[in-house]
């Protein structure tokens, strides 16, 4: 059989059939070489996109014989930064930079410069680091109604830790549930139940910690299907997961119902509010249809919240919160018999960038409640404007009921071709799959005068272009089109690993 026809036939197989068949297909003579050819075509385009500055900044596959002057280095790096700043500063990027005001950036840079040598591992040298970290946790917990939660449930003692980002916050929480279940219930083959829309960081935690993930479907509104999650729970389930909101569709899961299910089953419940933790509390106060997602719900036992997203701190800091210190203690690592002395660390990192923690504390203190309320109001209003505008464009359809992360698809045009058409107009949007869609995560950059209007105008033009012009070669459309349609996920895995290799190519 012709290899092209064989591979084309494979892309139309049901996914339940594809898994067992993939290993056998790879053994068919010629298939491996054909796959290599397809991979290489895509990777050539990717490589040029990943290394666009060879004419501006020197490459060093080895240490230079003589070090460059500070002025030369700063000049080269400044030229690159100028090019990279232009798009996000003008509001062309989905997410990525959540504040971006030059004065705010200058303030953070000044704070970091003052604390660049700080390492929280050495609390005797930098006791201020402990103060900053503890107060970041306390301020974040307070924003998420910790006082009210403790009033409703006096046994709740909300606590937490600062991590390097949302992934580490999630990793820490999953370690806590695994270790607690192992010690208190004797569970050795632990699993977590989560919707298909939940972040891959949970799969990373599962891979690192030997936990099984059981993915449940979402409903027609792209929310977690509570009934399906209930059916998926078994004797080895240690936690349920809900998102507020989920990254793909910007939809908040039914956290009250999900957390109550977890409470009744005596298992943990984690609210992944990495994306929305600094928006949802203010949306609730502003009267938007935002459900309760925090410890006021008795079933919620942990929450992850990214301070480096809508908390407007520098990359990378995040907070993981727990209902009680007894949970947090399962997160800690201690070594009592090391010849180097006693050792203890609260998170995965040993040494940490104390400057980033100082910046986070300074930003929270600088903005305060009024600053975050005003920022949320502007973002939510812009989200409303963009959602209404997308819904008015013929051929597009908004997914679910989002507030400020607006996902949309089309039954009339190739949405990935629209992605490329928007990229040609300067926009960096997020491509989604299952179903094929795009989204824009609204930030303060998009609340600038005229940005939302420019986005909607460009999007309408991009859709018309796709409707009237032939498909173009290159760009992300063929890559997303292939990965979304091919049932052999091992092939997609290969492509992603090769992409990561490219990032390290000099």
Indicate the pLDDT class of residue 47, thresholds 50, 70 and 90: confident
Q: Is the pLDDT of residue 13 over 60?
A: no
Q: Is the pLDDT of residue 143 over 80?
A: yes
**Which pLDDT does position 503 carry in this prediction?**
78
- Residue 138's H or E segment, with its range, is helix 127-143
Answer for the pair 408, 397: CB distance below 8 angstroms, yes or no.
yes
**How far apart are the C-alpha atoms of 240 and 272, rounded to whole Å?**
11
**Which pLDDT does position 491 carry in this prediction?**
66
Span between the terminal Cα atoms of the chain, in Å:
40
**How far apart are the C-alpha atoms of 159 and 146, rounded to whole Å?**
9
Average pLDDT value for residue range 224-248: 97
Lowest-confidence range among 5-9, 71-75, 109-113, 429-433?
A: 5-9
Residue 311 token pair:
């908390």
Answer for the pair 398, 407: CB distance below 8 angstroms, yes or no.
yes
Lowest-confidence range among 352-356, 425-429, 496-500?
A: 496-500
Q: Is the pLDDT of residue 488 over 80?
A: no
Indicate the pLDDT class of residue 24, thresholds 50, 70 and 90: low
> Does residue 13 lie in a domain region?
yes
**Which pLDDT does position 340 carry in this prediction?**
93
Comparing C-alpha atoms, which of 348, 299, 297 is closest to residue 320?
Answer: 348
> Does residue 226 lie in a domain region?
no
Average pLDDT value for residue range 464-483: 66
**Which pLDDT does position 284 carry in this prediction?**
96
Q: Is the pLDDT of residue 116 over 90?
A: yes
Q: Is the pLDDT of residue 231 over 90?
A: yes
| Residue ranges making up the domain that contains 491 | 3-50+483-503
Domain count, the chain: 1
| pLDDT more than 90, % of the chain | 76
**How far apart are the C-alpha atoms of 270 and 202, rounded to whole Å?**
11
Q: Is 1 helix (H, G, I), strand (E, B) or coil?
A: coil
Average pLDDT value for residue range 98-111: 96
Comparing C-alpha atoms, which of 302, 261, 333 is closest to residue 173?
Answer: 302
CB-based contacts of 10: which residues, under 8 Å, 6+ apart?
18, 21, 25, 486, 487, 488
* Choice between 11 and 63, residue whose per-residue pLDDT is larger: 63
DSSP classification of residue 93 = B
**Which pLDDT does position 499 carry in this prediction?**
77
Strand-pair category, 212-216 with 191-195: parallel
**How far apart are the C-alpha atoms of 404 and 398, rounded to whole Å?**
12
CA-CA distances (angstroms) from residue 160 to 206, 287, 346, 491, 499? Answer: 21, 28, 10, 40, 35
> Does residue 125 lie in a domain region?
no
> Does residue 315 lie in a domain region?
no
**How far apart are the C-alpha atoms of 99 and 276, rounded to whole Å?**
15
Helices and strands per DSSP (H, E), number in the chain: 18, 13
Average pLDDT value for residue range 201-209: 96
**Which pLDDT does position 463 carry in this prediction?**
96
Tell me, letter by letter, the H, E, C secondary structure of 465-505: HHHHCCCCCCCCHHHHHHHHHCCCHHHHHHHHHHHHHHHCC
Q: Is the pLDDT of residue 494 over 80?
A: no
Residue 169 token pair:
């916050």
**How far apart are the C-alpha atoms of 417 and 478, rounded to whole Å?**
8
Question: pTM, whole model, 2 decimals?
Answer: 0.89
**How far apart are the C-alpha atoms of 58 and 496, rounded to whole Å?**
27
Please tell me the total number of residues recorded for the chain in this structure: 506
DSSP classification of residue 162 = E
**Which pLDDT does position 61 carry in this prediction?**
86
CB-based contacts of 260: which residues, under 8 Å, 6+ apart?
297, 298, 299
* Choice between 41 and 403, residue whose per-residue pLDDT is larger: 403
Average pLDDT, the chain: 89
> Does residue 34 lie in a domain region?
yes
**Which pLDDT does position 84 carry in this prediction?**
87
* Choice between 28 and 21, residue whose per-residue pLDDT is larger: 28
Q: Is the pLDDT of residue 256 over 90?
A: yes
Tell me, letter by letter, the H, E, C secondary structure of 4-21: HHHHHHHCCCCHHHHHHH
Bond from prior residue into 245 cis (ω within 30 degrees of 0): yes
Half-sphere exposure of 418 (CA within 13 A, CB side): 30
> Does residue 42 lie in a domain region?
yes
Q: Where are the alpha helices (H) located in 27-101, listed in sequence order?
A: 31-50, 70-89
**Which pLDDT does position 86 carry in this prediction?**
84
Average pLDDT value for residue range 394-414: 95
Average pLDDT value for residue range 326-340: 95
Q: Is 91 helix (H, G, I), strand (E, B) or coil?
A: coil
Place of tokens 């507020």: 244
Answer for the pair 164, 351: CB distance below 8 angstroms, yes or no.
no
Half-sphere exposure of 455 (CA within 13 A, CB side): 31
**Which pLDDT does position 1 carry in this prediction?**
43
Comparing C-alpha atoms, which of 37, 264, 308, 46 is closest to residue 165?
Answer: 308
**Which pLDDT does position 26 carry in this prediction?**
56
**Which pLDDT does position 478 carry in this prediction?**
47
> Does residue 490 lie in a domain region?
yes
> Does residue 139 lie in a domain region?
no
């Amino acid at each position: 059989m012709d290899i092209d026809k064989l591979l084309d036939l494979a892309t139309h197989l049901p996914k339940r059939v594809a898994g067992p068949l993939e290993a056998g297909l790879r053994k068919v003579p010629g298939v491996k070489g054909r796959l290599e050819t397809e991979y290489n075509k895509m990777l050539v385009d990717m490589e040029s996109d990943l290394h666009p500055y060879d004419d501006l900044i020197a490459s060093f596959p080895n240490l230079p014989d003589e070090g460059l002057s500070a002025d030369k280095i700063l000049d080269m790096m400044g030229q690159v930064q100028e090019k990279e700043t232009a798009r996000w500063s003008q509001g062309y990027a989905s997410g990525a930079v959540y504040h971006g005001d030059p004065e705010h950036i200058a303030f953070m840079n000044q704070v970091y410069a003052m604390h660049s040598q700080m390492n929280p591992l050495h609390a005797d040298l930098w006791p201020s680091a402990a103060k900053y970290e503890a107060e970041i946790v306390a301020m974040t917990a307070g924003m998420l109604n910790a006082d009210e939660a403790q009033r409703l449930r006096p046994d709740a003692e909300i606590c937490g830790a600062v991590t390097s980002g949302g992934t580490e916050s999630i990793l820490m929480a999953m370690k806590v549930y695994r270790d607690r279940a192992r010690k208190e219930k004797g569970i050795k083959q632990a699993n977590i139940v989560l919707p298909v829309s939940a972040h891959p960081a949970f799969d990373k935690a599962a891979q690192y910690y030997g936990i099984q993930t059981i993915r449940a479907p979402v409903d027609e509104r792209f929310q977690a299907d509570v009934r399906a999650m209930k059916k998926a729970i078994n004797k080895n389930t240690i936690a349920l997961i809900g998102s507020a909101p989920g990254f793909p569709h910007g939809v908040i899961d039914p956290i009250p119902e999900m957390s109550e299910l977890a409470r009744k089953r005596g298992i943990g419940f984690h609210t992944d509010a990495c994306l929305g933790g600094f928006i949802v509390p203010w949306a609730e106060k502003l009267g938007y249809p935002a459900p309760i997602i925090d410890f006021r719900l008795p079933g919620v036992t942990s929450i992850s919240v990214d301070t480096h997203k809508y908390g407007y701190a520098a990359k990378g800091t995040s907070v993981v919160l727990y209902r009680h210190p007894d949970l947090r203690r399962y997160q800690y690592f201690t070594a009592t018999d090391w010849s180097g002395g006693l050792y203890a660390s609260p998170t995965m990192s040993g040494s940490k960038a104390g400057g980033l923690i100082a910046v986070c504390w300074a930003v929270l203190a600088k903005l305060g409640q009024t600053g975050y309320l005003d920022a949320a109001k502007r973002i939510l209003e812009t989200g409303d404007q963009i959602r209404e505008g997308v819904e008015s464009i013929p051929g597009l359809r908004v997914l679910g009921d989002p507030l400020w992360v607006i996902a949309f698809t089309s039954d009339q045009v190739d949405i990935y071709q629209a992605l490329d058409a928007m990229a040609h107009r300067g926009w960096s949007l997020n491509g989604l799959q299952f179903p094929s869609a795009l989204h824009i995560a609204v930030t303060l950059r998009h609340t600038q005068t005229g940005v939302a209007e420019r986005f909607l105008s460009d999007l309408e033009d991009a859709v018309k272009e796709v409707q009237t012009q032939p498909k173009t070669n290159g760009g992300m459309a063929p890559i997303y089109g292939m990965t979304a349609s091919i049932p052999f996920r091992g092939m997609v895995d290969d492509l992603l690993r090769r992409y990561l290799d490219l990032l390290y190519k000099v």
